């Protein structure tokens, strides 16, 4: 895992702009703390910050390869899990390699198979590849969008980077936000629109896409997408296929030249991966290290709800003992959460989630002390339909994103409280913006001819989760892990598994009348039955009164400042009513997310010198 950045320019000689390139790369030094490199030609400026995971000695980047009179170069972030198979196939075709890295395999795969080579990759990746002879830049991103990649076209230049801050460090990209950006950041913060880059005329390479930039034209190729088709297998065959895919995926994703550990919440997803990984470790005579997070006095202040019905700790112990792992619990207290509340903002370069990201950052920081790579159970709920909103009948036909409908259901509200100022509401029309984004998502859903209405609607909701909700969580995982130079792998995002499960009928997905029933069957014999049948419980958060008070006090400081940058954009009275509550309804109803976001928004407007255009 690394940070990549750079640009091409069809008109200017970029060899004289090395200082700008160095500055862009330096913004992401935490993504790649182990090494750095640049590659400059008159047309191309590539930079790389490296986190050493595979072939520490030979995988330096940017990497160039010359074959005859043809030169190719790449700057790449990610892991290719099938690179050994690809390398073997390429060697049979006459290719020779000077390193043991997957980076070199990507270059040779492009030389051998051309633009279509991306279809052969199984992994998490984002890269920029330059073909000198054809004067062609190729930007590509993995199937589900685990690794980020942003770009902007400015005049004769195409500028790119793993994070927005790298682009903002280039003088041609300014911190300007247009109407859609305002609507998204201020009013649609829990929807992630594919391809949207927040800042004016800044874009994200969409998952499963590659962009080819040539002097005279730009081409957009979708190399992977979900395809709807009848599911041919019975329950037993389906169960076995899922089990086989998971075993193969976990085995592939344990490959590294650095220590690998596993996250363990005691939930079905992380527990299943942990058990499979621990088995692989035992075959090699090793013991897997696992990590979970907890909060000071969590047992005293915990209150369950439909998203999080139970504490994790007892189940973590149960699974760790079953899998025979060496377990570590990272316990977080209020001061740490408050001190690091702005970390998500600086990692995303836009206001983000609050402690749900901060606590993740803190556990990764602790894990980094002993390891460089971890497995995570992220995305199983999106792939298999695990969230409550997949299961409430009244949400099925509400004409919006299902998690928004779920939030309204939990709060017993016909409409959310007005958080934005009247001026902003009129200018950006956030409800209309959300409705437009919802219709865009609906239009993309791959339909299955002859499917009944209920199954078709469930397919729509599953598609929303995979393409508009999951990216939020993948962004969170990437930014919080890479903020400490730590790689997190997500086996449930293996595109082969996602493709297969996509077409499993809902009744089979929920076999045994429980969410993710087919996954639970696949893990039979791998997990103890009580842990295997534990109901879905969301990622934990602190409910400690001291944290709620700390956030409320911080928010009130901003609200009481007549010169606060955020004042023109918010409904001050609504926020003040939230923050003044002695025992906020926020704690159980809205959470303290709106106040955490208010704090980040104030800092963002000031420190990023945001201009609305």
Tens-digit pLDDT profile for residues 272-312: 999 999 999 999 999 999 999 999 988 887 776 666 767 88
Please list, in sequence order, all residues whose beta carbon lies within 8 angstroms of the beta carbon of residue 423, skipping any fewer than 6 positions away. Answer: 568
H helices of 258-392, in order, are 268-283, 298-301, 313-323, 334-339, 343-348, 355-367, 380-384
**In this predicted structure, what is the pLDDT of residue 307?**
67
**In this predicted structure, what is the pLDDT of residue 284?**
94
Record the pTM: 0.96
135 within 8 A of 214, measured Cβ to Cβ: yes
**In this predicted structure, what is the pLDDT of residue 590?**
56
**In this predicted structure, what is the pLDDT of residue 538?**
76
H helices of 488-592, in order, are 495-502, 506-509, 517-522, 529-532, 545-559, 572-580
Q: Name the β-bridge partners of 420.
A: 570
**In this predicted structure, what is the pLDDT of residue 586?**
45
Compute the chain's Rg from CA coordinates: 24
Strand order in the sheet with 203-204: 35-40, 44-50, 2-9, 157-161, 150-154, 203-204
Residue 1 — very low, low, confident or very high, per pLDDT cuts 50/70/90? low
DSSP assignment, residue 467? I
**In this predicted structure, what is the pLDDT of residue 189?**
85
Half-sphere exposure of residue 234: CA atoms within 13 angstroms, side-chain side = 1
Residue 132 — very low, low, confident or very high, per pLDDT cuts 50/70/90? very high
Of the candidate ranges 40-49, 282-291, 397-406, 464-473, the one whose mean pLDDT is the lowest: 397-406
Taking residues 56-80, report their average pLDDT: 93
**In this predicted structure, what is the pLDDT of residue 587?**
40
Residue 416 — very low, low, confident or very high, per pLDDT cuts 50/70/90? low
Q: Which residues are annotated as a binding site for L-glutamine?
A: 102
Taking residues 357-386, report their average pLDDT: 96
- Kindly report, residue by residue over 501-549, the tens digit of the pLDDT: 999 999 999 999 999 999 999 999 999 999 999 988 778 888 899 999 9
136 within 8 A of 74, measured Cβ to Cβ: no
**In this predicted structure, what is the pLDDT of residue 187?**
86
User: What do you get for the CA distance between the two ends of the chain, in Å?
Assistant: 35
Q: pLDDT averaged over the chain?
A: 93
Residue 588 — very low, low, confident or very high, per pLDDT cuts 50/70/90? very low
The string of DSSP codes covering 353-396 is: -SHHHHHHHHHHHHHTTT-SEEE--TTHHHHHT-SGGGT-HHHH
- Kindly report, residue by residue over 377-387, the tens digit of the pLDDT: 999 999 999 99
> What are residue 530's phi and psi, to 5 degrees?
-65, -40
Using DSSP's 3-state secondary structure scheme, residue 31 falls into coil
Residue 585 — very low, low, confident or very high, per pLDDT cuts 50/70/90? very low
Percent of the chain surpassing pLDDT 90: 85
- Kindly report, residue by residue over 432-446, the tens digit of the pLDDT: 999 999 999 999 999
Percent of the chain surpassing pLDDT 70: 96
- The closest alpha carbon to 497, from 262, 223, 280, 250, belongs to 250
> What are residue 265's phi and psi, to 5 degrees?
-100, -10
CA distance 513 to 60: 51
| pLDDT, greater one: 51 or 368 | 368
Taking residues 375-399, report their average pLDDT: 92
379 within 8 A of 124, measured Cβ to Cβ: no
**In this predicted structure, what is the pLDDT of residue 303?**
74
- Residues marked active site are found at 2
Residue 577 — very low, low, confident or very high, per pLDDT cuts 50/70/90? confident
Measured CA to CA in angstroms, residue 62 lies from 127, 152, 205, 320 at distances of 10, 20, 20, 40
Q: At residue 589, does pLDDT exceed 70?
A: no
**In this predicted structure, what is the pLDDT of residue 582?**
53
**In this predicted structure, what is the pLDDT of residue 581?**
64
Q: Are strands 70-80 and 123-131 parallel, antiparallel or unpaired?
A: antiparallel
| pLDDT, greater one: 194 or 299 | 194
The length of the chain, given as a count of residues:
613
**In this predicted structure, what is the pLDDT of residue 306?**
64
User: What domains lie within the chain, and their CATH numbers?
Assistant: 2-222 (3.60.20.10), 235-388+418-532 (3.40.50.620), 545-612 (no CATH)
**In this predicted structure, what is the pLDDT of residue 584?**
46
**In this predicted structure, what is the pLDDT of residue 596?**
95
């Amino acid at each position: 895992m690394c940070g990549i950045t750079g640009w091409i320019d069809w008109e200017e000689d970029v060899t004289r702009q090395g200082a700008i390139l160095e500055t862009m790369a330096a913004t992401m030094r935490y993504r790649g703390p182990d090494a750095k490199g640049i590659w400059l030609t008159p047309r191309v400026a590539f930079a790389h910050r490296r986190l050493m995971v595979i072939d520490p000695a030979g995988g330096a980047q940017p990497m160039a390869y010359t074959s005859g009179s043809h030169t190719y170069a790449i700057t790449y972030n990610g892991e290719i899990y099938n690179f050994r198979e690809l390398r073997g196939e390429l060697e049979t075709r006459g290719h020779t390699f000077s390193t043991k890295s997957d980076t070199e395999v990507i270059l040779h795969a492009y030389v051998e198979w051309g633009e279509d080579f991306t279809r052969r990759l199984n992994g998490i990746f984002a890269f920029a590849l330059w073909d000198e002879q054809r004067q062609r830049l190729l930007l590509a991103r993995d199937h589900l969008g685990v690794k980020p990649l942003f770009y902007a076209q400015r005049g004769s230049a195409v500028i790119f980077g793993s994070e927005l801050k790298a682009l903002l460090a280039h003088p041609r990209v300014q911190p300007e936000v247009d109407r859609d950006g305002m609507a998204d950041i201020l009013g649609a913060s829990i929807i992630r629109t594919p391809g949207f880059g927040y800042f004016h005329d800044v874009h994200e390479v969409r998952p499963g896409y590659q962009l080819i930039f040539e002097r005279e034209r730009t081409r957009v190729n979708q190399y992977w997408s979900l395809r709807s088709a009848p599911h041919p297998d019975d329950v037993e065959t389906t169960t076995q296929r899922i089990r086989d895919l998971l075993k193969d995926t976990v085995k592939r994703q344990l490959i590294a030249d650095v220590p690998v550990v596993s996250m363990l919440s005691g939930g079905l997803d992380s527990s299943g991966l942990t058990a499979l990984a621990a088995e692989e470790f035992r075959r090699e005579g090793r013991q897997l290290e696992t990590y979970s997070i907890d909060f000071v006095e969590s047992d005293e202040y915990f209150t369950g709800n439909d998203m999080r019905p139970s504490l994790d700790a007892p189940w973590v112990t149960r699974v760790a003992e079953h899998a025979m792992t060496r377990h570590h619990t990272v316990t977080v207290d209020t001061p740490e959460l408050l001190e690091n509340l702005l970390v998500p903002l600086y990692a995303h370069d836009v206001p983000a989630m609050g402690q749900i990201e901060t606590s993740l950052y803190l556990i990764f920081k602790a894990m980094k002390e002993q390891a460089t790579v971890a497995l995570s159970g992220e995305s199983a709920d999106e792939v298999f339909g695990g969230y409550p909103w997949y299961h409430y009948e009244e949400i099925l036909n509400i004409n919006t994103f299902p998690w928004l409908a779920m939030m309204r259901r939990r709060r017993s509200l016909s409409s959310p409280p007005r958080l934005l100022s009247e001026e902003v509401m009129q200018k950006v029309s956030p409800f209309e913006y959300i409705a437009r984004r919802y219709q865009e998502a609906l239009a993309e859903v791959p339909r299955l001819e002859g499917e009944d209405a209920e199954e078709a609607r469930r397919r729509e909701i599953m598609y929303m989760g995979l393409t508009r909700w999951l990216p939020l969580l993948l962004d969170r995982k990437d930014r919080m892990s890479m903020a400490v130079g730590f790689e997190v792998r997500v086996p449930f995002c293996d595109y082969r598994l996602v493709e297969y499960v996509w077409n499993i009928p809902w009744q089979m997905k929920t076999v045994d009348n429980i969410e993710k029933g087919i996954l639970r069957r696949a893990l039979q014999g791998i997990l103890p039955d009580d842990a295997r049948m534990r109901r879905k419980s969301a990622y934990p958060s602190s409910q400690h009164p001291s944290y709620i008070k700390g956030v409320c006090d911080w928010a009130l400081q901003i609200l009481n400042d007549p010169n606060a940058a955020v004042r023109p954009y918010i409904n001050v009275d609504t926020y003040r009513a939230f923050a003044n509550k002695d025992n906020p309804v926020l704690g159980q109803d809205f959470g303290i997310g709106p106040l955490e976001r208010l704090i980040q928004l104030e800092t963002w407007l000031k420190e990023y010198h945001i201009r609305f255009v």
